[in-house]
Structure 1
Amino acid sequence: MPVPRAQFHDLKDRAVLITGGGSGIGAALVEGFVDQGARVAFVDIDERASLDLVERLAAPLYIPADLRDIDAVKKAAQTAATALGAIHVLVNNAARDDREPLESVTEESWDESQAVNLRHLFFMSQAIAPHMRQAGGGSIVNFSSIAYLLNMAEIPAYATAKAAIVGLTKSLAGKLGPDNIRVNAILPGMIVTERQKRLWLRDADIAGMQERQCLKRSLTADDLVGPCLFLASACSSGMTAQTMIIDGGAL
């Protein structure tokens, strides 16, 4: 059953940049902002999925980039600002939850995890902040995860990155608040996407999380769209440096 979606009228014609927007949660976010009438650009490394999304929605601007490359991050930010004007909303969504237990982590795999899951959030925010100042303010929404709160043994590097995003969110909120730029974080629980089912989630995993949750159903990418729209909109104008957990009541 589709998740009902409210209309946030102040998002109409707002310039929005979303990272990792080609598939999964990111694609749902792109569609959600497009449905609000926002002018949307998204960054993704997966060209096929991204072009399919652009064709289906016939609205967003796709910017191909590898977010592990900081020069590419800065160029993507400038491309979005050139195409859309001053950016009002940045959604730092891109991530990859590789499983790698303590014994298997190497220097290279640790650095890769931080590059994929953490580093680009800072540098994209740094690149977009001047454009938000030009717009008179804005909203940055960082995607973290409840994973670091669950003592999950197989994801030490990923959990570290997701915990660090909360600290980054609060620090950026302190720095950018005087410029009327709000910074908040969303912490999803188990979101059942096709990629998750293909790589990690088995029926027993899904059933186990549903048993733990207050809401006895699987959460999907659509469950994150409304909270993200709220944080991007004027409805949350007094809210910054906060975290919003969307996990069906698992914690």
Structure 2
Amino acid sequence: MAITAVYPDLRDRPVLITGGGSGIGAALTEGFVRQGSKVAFIDIADAPSNALCDRLEREAGVRPLFVKADLRDIEALRAAIHYAEAAHGPALVLINNAARDDRHDIAAVTSEFWDANQAVNLKPHFFTAQAVAEGMKKAGTGSIINFTSTSFMINLGTLPSYAAAKAGIIGLTKGLAGALGKHGIRVNAIAPGWVITERQQELWVTEEGLAAHVAKQCIHEVMKPDDIVGPCLFLASDSSRMLTAQTMIVDGGFL
């Protein structure tokens, strides 16, 4: 990963990332580790998370803290956050990155599927923020970054429950920003476009489909996970101290 900017205020700052073991989350974990932050991430998958920790310890000389938890289990999520904060101190940066963009047909969606989908893609965003808010209030500062998506903005029809959750994240972001701003806590959202992770490559990318998408971007380059790191570092740092309740679209100009 190429480091394009260094934010001195992020050094030693406790950072908590959900879904930080693979995809965009892994790039974020590495980005903050290379800023010198105290990084903890929550993920459900052992193998990629441990491999990431091993690589960063080898390359950067620092091992992030991996805490295994299922975000759908709110008590387990709270316990994971408590464990991370016991190790690093109260989180002053929270990045709600974890998500599952499984495709689904309207006719096939059951009540159980809907609840399970929202339990991954929307519900944890609130409860992670709730869990770290008191520590941020005591510190008088904090940055919460919620990951939404451009999928609902472009009327993508292959994942309506996911799109509903991602639209809800923007409302949640604005509501949290209004409630927490008086305590010095900023809450913003990042809306990535089509970022080509390993999961995307394995499940949904075709040469023709990707070429057509990139052709509609202003910047005709394939977006990679590393492209999301810089915007996230900026929102986490004091450089954006008066920026809150906003959604930053990072899509190469597709919209």
TM-score (norm 1): 0.98
C-alpha separation in 2, matches of 1:199 and 1:108: 23
Counterpart selection for 2:235 from 217, 226, 231 = 231
Match of 1:62 in 2: 66
What residue number does 1:32 align with? 31
Quickly say closer, same or farther: Cα 1:19–1:244, change in 2 above 3 A.
same
* 1:86-131 CA-partner distances (Å, limit 9, x unpaired): 2110000000100002111111111111011000010010011011
Equivalent residue number for residue 100 of structure 2: 96
TM-score normalised per structure 2: 0.96
| Partner-residue secondary structure (3-state), 1:134 | helix
**Which residue matches 2:190?**
186
Count of equivalent residues: 250
Alignment-mate amino acid for residue 245 of structure 2: A
Indicate the SS of the match to 1:97. Answer: coil
Q: Does 1:152 align with 2:167?
A: no
> What residue in structure 2 maps to residue 46 of structure 1?
45
Structure 1 portions without partners, runs of 5+: none
| Pairing partner for 2:199 from 180, 190, 195 | 195
Name the aligned partner's letter for residue 155 of structure 1.
L
Q: Is the 8 A contact 1:169 1:183 kept in 2?
A: yes
User: Quick one: percent identity of the two aligned structures?
Assistant: 55
Amino acid corresponding to residue 88 of structure 2 in structure 1: L
Instruction: Indicate the SS of the match to 1:16.
Output: strand
User: How far is 1:135 from its partner?
Assistant: 2.1
Deviation at 1:134, TM superposition (A): 2.2
- Structure-1 residue corresponding to 2:60: none
Asked if 2 retains the 8 angstrom alpha-carbon contact of 1:173 and 1:181, the reply is yes
Tell me, in whole angstroms, the C-alpha distance in 1 between the residues paired with 2:129 and 2:197: 27
Greater shift in the superposed pair: 3-12 or 87-96:
3-12
- Superposition pairs of residues 91-170 of structure 1, within 5 angstroms: 91-170=95-174
The 2-side partners of 1:20 and 1:119 are apart by: 14
Q: Return the offset for 1:80.
A: 1.2
Alpha-carbon distance, 1:165 to partner: 0.2
Query: Root-mean-square deviation (CA), in Å?
Result: 0.9
